[in-house]
Amino acid sequence: MTAEPSIVAAGLEAPAGPSLWRHELRATVKLALPIALTQLGQVAMMTSDLILIGRLGDVAIAGAALAHIILFACFVLGMGLMSAVSPLAAQAYGAREPRMVRRSLRVGLWAAVFIGAPLTAAMFGGEHLLGALGQDETAARLAGQYLMGLSWCLVPGWWFIALRGFMGAVNRPEPALWIMLAAIPANLLLAYMLIFGEFGMPQLGMVGAGIATTIVNLGMCAAGFWFCYTQRPFRKFQVLGHFWRMDWALTGKLFVIGMPIAGAFLLEYGLFAIAAILMGWIGTTALAAHQIALQIASILFMAPFGISMAATVRVGHAVGRRDPVGTRRAGFSAIALGAAFMAAMVVLILATRHVIPLAFLNANSADAGATLALAATLLAAGSTFFIADGVQTIAAGALRGLNDTRMPLVFAAISFWVIGFATSYGLAFPARLEAVGIWIGFTVGLGVYALLLVWRFNALTRHGYLPDLPGHAHA
């Protein structure tokens, strides 16, 4: 019986024998925790915006929900490309190729610029698009106002994602968390000032909320560059070195890996976006309740999303050092960790589903009672959805560490649209379950996707598959 190969990843040797799995779990938690907290901070900023916007009324919340449809449709394109920075940099780090780590970040930064300009312009037509989709005229107008300020956040937001991917790939994700912790109160204060015109600032309403988000994203991006260029251990990579040199070969590799990720993100977010459209057909109460329940689900999702990013890095490190056993162990450790966490969260949500939605609405408003009751019902209906959502994102992250992104795109198309959307629409309207039927469809689609991704990772790693690494020709 042969022993498993020893692990030398990121400068740390793992113990041999039975302790390997415990070591892998500890390493995954250590990497995932600051990443998850950073993601949670991102959601905290969005949630604080939603809470402040909620003081403007239910229609304003519905407008914010519609604006987020447009924002996410544009943002996930770049987010998919930026997600490819992490596996490329992690594989280079595992292979001890520091110049390749720098190149991976550099091509991500340029890719954000290439696609950011046209998408920023496209977001200004959001109000007209929503009107053409049959949404409430007032909600669409408020969404357009929100997008006036939000549109400029795309490129700095993507750059911060790329910088975070680089930090995580070299096992130092903490600075991104520090930046986020500073950004949360800054965003809350700035949004409050600009929405309601406090402390001498103009009262801009929905436009002010979007402007605040853009300003904070610019500040986060600037802070990320400062850390990566001046602080240890990042500065030794000289991330801005040869910045103006175009690396077309690696840019092509980034698009080959990243565009299927973006496509899968779009298919997933597209399902949630069309769900918001369907909720708008049902009524503003259904749309507001859906947005509240989805925001709570997003908060829960940040833990498995952090574990997913850690899985990409851990699998990428193992790929870089050509360790197929370590690759399999890294992926399945992360999947088990995420499933256990989300199962515990389901119990918590079921126990508090009538209380948590109170944070998002003025309880004295005329429609608050119906909205709160429906939000609690949706949280109960979506309990198994939370577990499936956690498993699928972690399994997808593990596959990204293997540069395997095309087959997950096919799985996403089948799971979210052939199965998920058909189930949601059928239960919502022909079966007359309305909002609850839409959420049951979420669960079915995500459950199928999670099973397919876990099967794919198992099938690849069972036979010791390792992808070819990109070339390491020039800096």
Task: Give me the pLDDT at residue 294, please.
Answer: 83
Q: What are the pLDDT digits (tens) for 332-373?
A: 999 999 999 998 988 888 888 778 787 776 666 656 777 888
8, β-bridge pairs: 13
More confident residue, 141 or 155: 155
Q: What's the mean pLDDT in 20-41?
A: 85
CA distances from 92 to 8, 319, 320, 374 (A): 14, 9, 6, 49
* Length in residues, the chain: 475
Average pLDDT over residues 220-238: 87
Of the pLDDT bands very low, low, confident and very high (cuts 50, 70, 90), residue 17 is low
CA angle 371, 447, 337 (to 5 degrees): 95
| Core vs surface per residue 202-222: b (16+ CB within 10 A) or e | eebbbbbbbbbbbbbbbbbbe
pLDDT at 131 over 80: no
The band of 4, judged by pLDDT with boundaries at 50, 70 and 90, is very low
Work out the end-to-end distance of the chain between its first and last CA atoms, rounded to an integer number of angstroms.
42
Q: Is the pLDDT of residue 149 over 70?
A: yes
**Average confidence score pLDDT of the chain:** 84
pLDDT at 473 over 70: no
Burial of 434 (0-12, 13-18, 19+ CB in 10 A): middle
CA 19 to chain centre: 32
Model pTM score: 0.82
pLDDT tier, 3 (very low <50, low <70, confident <90, very high otherwise): very low
Q: Tell me if 357 sits within 8 A of 288, measured CB to CB.
A: no
Beta bridge partners of 9: 12
Tell whether the model's pLDDT for residue 220 goes beyond 90.
yes
Averaged pLDDT for residues 10-34: 71
The values of phi and psi at residue 9, to 5°, are -120, 130
Report the percentage of the chain scoring pLDDT > 70. Answer: 93
pLDDT digits (tens, 9 = 90+) for 198-211: 887 888 888 888 88
Asked if 457 and 308 touch (Cβ cutoff 8 Å), the reply is: no
Average pLDDT, stretch 223-236?
86
Which pLDDT score, from 0 to 100, does residue 15 have?
47
Positive or negative, the Cα torsion across 137, 143, 149, 152? Answer: negative
